[in-house]
């Protein structure tokens, strides 16, 4: 290029900043797929909807290796089998290649679809720090037709918490009695510390009257409800991205390195359970997430 045609320094600086931002955005998306915050199909949909986006600019090789269980050897065999050149970017795939890739993903990792014949017993669960409590409170405040279950717990009340409203605060002996009399629909020890359980009677009453009951409980509880009531509707709350969940989990980083690592391991394992759920809702903004949970409950 002749001297006079060079872009001015400012343009080059701006272009290199844009390139760095684009690389970061692609790396964040890869983490979302690796940590199962979004499905590979979802990333492909975003790429095809907007080829100029970070998803669209991702190389098909990077996309495949972001998927848990695909290493470089497997990736190359898949690309050969689908007749897709490794230099392709997702947004630049031809119609045949898109179909081949989407078909391959659906076959290997089917996305959970809504089940039919579900009851109005709705469970909201998700990884720690995703904001389940906030979304449940939003539903309670804005959707009075939905009965939010009040759990029993052995945890002491926090300032401002009201017995019978936020929880039924009970001691260990009382919790044992609730279990012994089969008064709990499910119960679990959460974070290896306190016990939590869902009183059965109010749920039976609400469902008996044709109403909708919402349980905001942990993953172990959600699995117990599924076993006890296979027709229950299970909703999994997802963070908008892996990076955002990390931010919410470790915030300003006041915990030590071991505790931070433990929380991240837990979050990763919790996200891997989402395929057990009927619906997935992203908690990008609380009002929208609440609306989406209510919509899932009504389907
Ligand atoms: P927190 O003590 O912060 O209010 O709640 C801690 C965790 O306990 C949250 O993840 C919440 O979902 C879970 N939890 C609250 N109530 C119940 C319950 O009745 N059963 C189960 N299994 N988990 C619960």
Confidence of residue 2 (pLDDT cuts 50, 70, 90): low
With the most atoms of ligand 1 within 8 angstroms of its CB, the residue from 149, 190, 214, 237 to mutate is 190
- Residue 205: Cβ within 10 Å count: 12
Going from the Cα of 121 to the center of ligand 1, the distance in angstroms, rounded, reads: 17
Read off the pLDDT of residues 219-268 as tens digits, 9 standing for 90 and up: 999 999 999 998 899 999 999 999 999 999 888 777 888 888 988 998 99
Q: Is the pLDDT of residue 3 over 60?
A: no
Provide the mean pLDDT of the chain: 93
Position 251 scores a pLDDT of 81
Read off the pLDDT of residues 29-78 as tens digits, 9 standing for 90 and up: 999 999 999 999 999 999 999 999 999 999 999 999 999 989 999 999 99
Q: Which atom of ligand 1 is nearest to the CA of 194?
A: 2
Ligand 1 atom 10: the closest Cα is on which residue? 218
Separation CA 242–CA 271 (nearest Å): 10
Torsion of CA 182, 184, 186, 192, to 10 degrees: -100
- The answer to whether the CB of 198 is under 6 A from ligand 1 is yes
Beta strand 194-199 with 184-190 is antiparallel
Position 107 scores a pLDDT of 94
Of residues 197, 189, 186, 273, the one with CA closest to residue 238: 273
Helix axis angle, 286-298 to 132-142, nearest 10°: 70
pLDDT-above-70 percentage for the chain: 96
Position 298 scores a pLDDT of 82
Going from the Cα of 216 to the center of ligand 1, the distance in angstroms, rounded, reads: 7
Separation CA 212–CA 290 (nearest Å): 14
Ligand 1 atom 22: the closest Cα is on which residue? 221
Position 6 scores a pLDDT of 65
Q: Is the pLDDT of residue 202 over 90?
A: yes
- The answer to whether the CB of 149 is under 6 A from ligand 1 is no
Read off the pLDDT of residues 260-298 as tens digits, 9 standing for 90 and up: 898 899 899 999 999 999 999 999 999 999 999 999 888
């Amino acid at each position: 290029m002749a001297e006079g045609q060079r872009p001015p320094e400012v343009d080059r600086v701006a272009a290199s900043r844009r390139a760095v931002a684009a690389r970061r955005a692609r790396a964040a998306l890869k983490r979302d797929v690796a940590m199962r915050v979004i499905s590979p199909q979802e990333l492909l949909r975003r790429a095809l909807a907007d080829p100029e986006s970070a998803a669209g600019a991702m190389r098909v090789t990077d996309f495949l290796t972001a998927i848990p269980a695909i290493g470089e050897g497997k990736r190359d065999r898949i690309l050969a089998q689908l007749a897709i050149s490794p230099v392709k970017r997702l947004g630049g795939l031809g119609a045949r290649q898109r179909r081949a890739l989407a078909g391959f993903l659906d076959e290997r990792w089917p996305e959970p679809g809504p089940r039919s014949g579900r009851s109005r017993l709705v469970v909201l669960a998700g990884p720690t720090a995703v904001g389940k409590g906030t979304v449940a409170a939003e539903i309670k405040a804005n959707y009075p037709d939905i009965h939010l279950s009040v759990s029993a717990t052995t945890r002491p009340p926090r300032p401002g918490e009201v017995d019978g409203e936020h929880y039924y605060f009970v001691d260990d002996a009382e919790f044992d009695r609730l279990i012994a009399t089969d008064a709990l629909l499910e119960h679990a020890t959460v974070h290896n510390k306190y016990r939590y359980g869902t009183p059965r009677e109010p749920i039976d009453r609400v469902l008996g009257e044709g109403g909708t009951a919402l349980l905001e409980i942990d993953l172990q509880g959600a699995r117990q409800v599924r076993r006890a009531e296979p027709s229950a509707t299970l909703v999994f709350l997802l963070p908008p991205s892996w990076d955002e969940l990390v931010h919410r989990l470790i915030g300003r980083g006041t915990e030590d390195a071991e505790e931070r690592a433990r929380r991240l391991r837990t979050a990763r394992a919790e996200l891997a359970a989402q395929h057990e759920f009927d619906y997935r809702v992203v908690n990008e903004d609380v009002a929208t997430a609440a609306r989406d949970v209510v919509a899932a409950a009504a389907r």
